[in-house]
Amino acid sequence: MEYRGYDSSGIAVTAPDDPLGAGIKLVKRAGKLKNLEDRITEIGADQFTGGTAIGHTRWATHGRPTDENAHPHRSFDEKVAIVHNGIIENFAALRKEVEGHGIEFASETDSEVAAHLLALAYNEGDTAGDFRASALKVLNRLEGAFTLLFMHAEHPGQIIAARRSTPLIIGVGEDEMFLGSDVAAFIEHTRNAVELGQDNVVVITREGYEVLNFDGSTSEGKPFTIDWDLAAAEKGGFDSFMMKEIHEQPAAVRDTLAGHFQDGKIILDEQHLSEQDLKYVNQVFVVACGSAYHSGLLAKYAIEHWVRIPVQIEVASEFRYRDPVLDERTLVLAISQSGETADTLEAVRHAKSQGAKVLAVCNTNGSQIPRESDAVLYTHAGPEIGVASTKAFLAQVAANYIVGLALAQAHGTKYPDEIAEIYASLEEIPAKIEQLLEVNTQVKEIADYLGTVKTMLFLGRGVGFPVALEGALKLKELAYIHAEGFAAGELKHGPIALIEDDLPVVIVVPSPKGVKQLHSKIVSNIQEIRARGAKTIVIAEEGDTSVEPYANWLIRIPESASIMQPLLATVPLQFLSAAIARNCGNDDIDKPRNLAKSVTVE
């Protein structure tokens, strides 16, 4: 679970027989999980045996990543331990109230208040002595998004948990039960899981689970079987998950495409939007964050080109705050690997409240975004553990193109044979990515030559522009280097001032088979930056000789239809960012600093 947050971690175990303590043993440490493991070894792992345990890996929101701010948090009487994911928005008022009881806080977090409130509710008043009633009382006072796990020293066989907007899944084992933010937490122990609804509370014991609503009434979860392979959560001989996931890209794209073109027709399974619904659509909005947003830019190019309806794209965190013009003829395409990203989820909710139809492109079965959307197209990339998105990004691009083709089919803007031809060129991509994986050796040589660069620019035109943005994002998050992606034509309007001797600039050259002027214009752009001293790393199709005189390094990618090129041109940039990151001293490319895989806060 470390990929969900790794600035600190901790565990609490109920130890009812402990003659000294209050029944809960707790240990926590700032930094990566290794620090916690070392601390536990130091104390003695046998000190932390017990029947019930909670653990947490943190991505800081309130308070720096210190030992004190790490979870679990304990109540003033040391009888309650809690872990929390999300933000308790009314924590300041609650903290004041708790401090009014003369209670001192041990941390700067918003989370700790829940532990004290629970202890207060358990110790006095109408819920005294009743763990469940006390937990419900506290939960009903909290505002914001949260997953909370509560344990109480006097109820050592029980954990009470709740979710509002952030994820929580139950794992059902034999004589053991699990709770996790995602199934990776317990996939080693059981394949039987239960999905919980919004505002659900769950009480687990070793024997079973009970699902409630926040008012205490009975509710139920939705059982499902986890089909992810356990090997998917292991490195399989690679030195990092990211490297493994880059190599899994041919399969990710192939599996995402599988079954979507049958008997000459595009099929969007798992959709609840009919061909008639798609035909009715007269504008598309794409909402997504980070890499998913870059994949969405490519959806715009494809849909506008194939369907001739306007597509607007917006970073999800901005979407609902600027009052976009949506109606029942608007299709909102919400793209998210995790299906949990709070910004995208809120954009989906806003779109639905305005009457738009929402189609999710998502990699995680049963997650919140598909659940709240009208339809979903799953990418089949398998679990992505590396925090920097690689295979999920390529799978999203493939899925977006399927959506584009489905719209073109419904609108009749492409003949069936044209759709078949485009789909066939999409199906050729996995084999071409396979072939391209060898480029890593050349890329490493380039990275070694560059050493520890301070800044880098990425340029592209047409569908190469989103690739440039994605290349820059990868380098920023992995190597902590300032990097920017630009539309190559925009350079002369300001950013060209950044070019100086030896500045490395990556240029994604569009296929010469595409728009002719686009290709020749980017060749001119390369000359302009070379003339100003830049070192050019040119990514161009095999056989494109026009760029040879202007490239300090030339990275060849297989030929493809021009709209498909991003599915290839992205791969060397993933390798490049990983290689530069290592040269800059970041060996743990799976867990870049300050980041987390699923961003469940806005």
Q: Which residues bind ligand M6R (CB under 6 A)?
A: 289-292, 336-338, 341, 344, 387-389, 473, 477, 595, 598-599
Smaller CB separation from ligand M6R, 387 or 433: 387
**Residue 388 beta carbon to ligand M6R: minimum distance, rounded to whole angstroms:** 4
| CA gap 594, 602 in Å, rounded | 15
Smaller CB separation from ligand M6R, 120 or 292: 292
Closest CA to 211 of 168, 157, 273: 168
Smaller CB separation from ligand M6R, 57 or 75: 57
**Is 444 among the residues known to form the active site?**
no
Q: Can you tell me whether residue 593 is helix, strand or coil?
A: coil
**Residue 344 beta carbon to ligand M6R: minimum distance, rounded to whole angstroms:** 5
Smaller CB separation from ligand M6R, 83 or 288: 288
Smaller CB separation from ligand M6R, 2 or 418: 2
**Residue 569 beta carbon to ligand M6R: minimum distance, rounded to whole angstroms:** 16
The tokens describing 14, both together, are: 């109920």
**Residue 483 beta carbon to ligand M6R: minimum distance, rounded to whole angstroms:** 13
| CA gap 63, 4 in Å, rounded | 18
**Residue 317 beta carbon to ligand M6R: minimum distance, rounded to whole angstroms:** 10
552 burial (CB, 10 Å; 0-12 / 13-18 / 19+) is middle
| CA gap 390, 258 in Å, rounded | 19
Q: Give percent helix, percent strand, percent coil of the chain, each to the nearest 5.
A: 40, 20, 40
- Only one residue has tokens 């060849």, namely 556
**Residue 584 beta carbon to ligand M6R: minimum distance, rounded to whole angstroms:** 17
Position of minimal CB gap to ligand M6R: 290
Cα 19 → chain centroid: 44
Phi-psi region for residue 144, left (φ > 0), alpha (ψ -120 to 50) or beta?
left
**Residue 290 beta carbon to ligand M6R: minimum distance, rounded to whole angstroms:** 2
CA atoms within 13 A on the CB side of 580: 28
Alpha carbon separation from 99 to 22, 66, 81, 93, 94 (Å, rounded): 22, 22, 18, 10, 9
Catalytic residue among 28, 244, 300, 597: 597
- Only one residue has tokens 């829940």, namely 114
Cα 29 → chain centroid: 25
- Residue 291, number of CB atoms within 10 A of its CB: 25
**Residue 480 beta carbon to ligand M6R: minimum distance, rounded to whole angstroms:** 13
**Residue 107 beta carbon to ligand M6R: minimum distance, rounded to whole angstroms:** 26
Smaller CB separation from ligand M6R, 240 or 344: 344
Long-range pairs for 233-241: beta carbons < 8 A, 24 or more residues apart: 233/184, 233/187, 233/383, 233/385, 240/386, 240/578, 240/588, 240/589, 240/590, 241/3, 241/384, 241/385, 241/386, 241/590
Closest CA to 10 of 65, 51, 50: 65
Smaller CB separation from ligand M6R, 368 or 525: 368
Smaller CB separation from ligand M6R, 422 or 472: 472
| CA gap 210, 220 in Å, rounded | 8
| CA gap 268, 262 in Å, rounded | 10
427 burial (CB, 10 Å; 0-12 / 13-18 / 19+) is middle
Q: Are 510 and 464 in contact (CB under 8 A)?
A: yes
The catalytic residue positions are 597
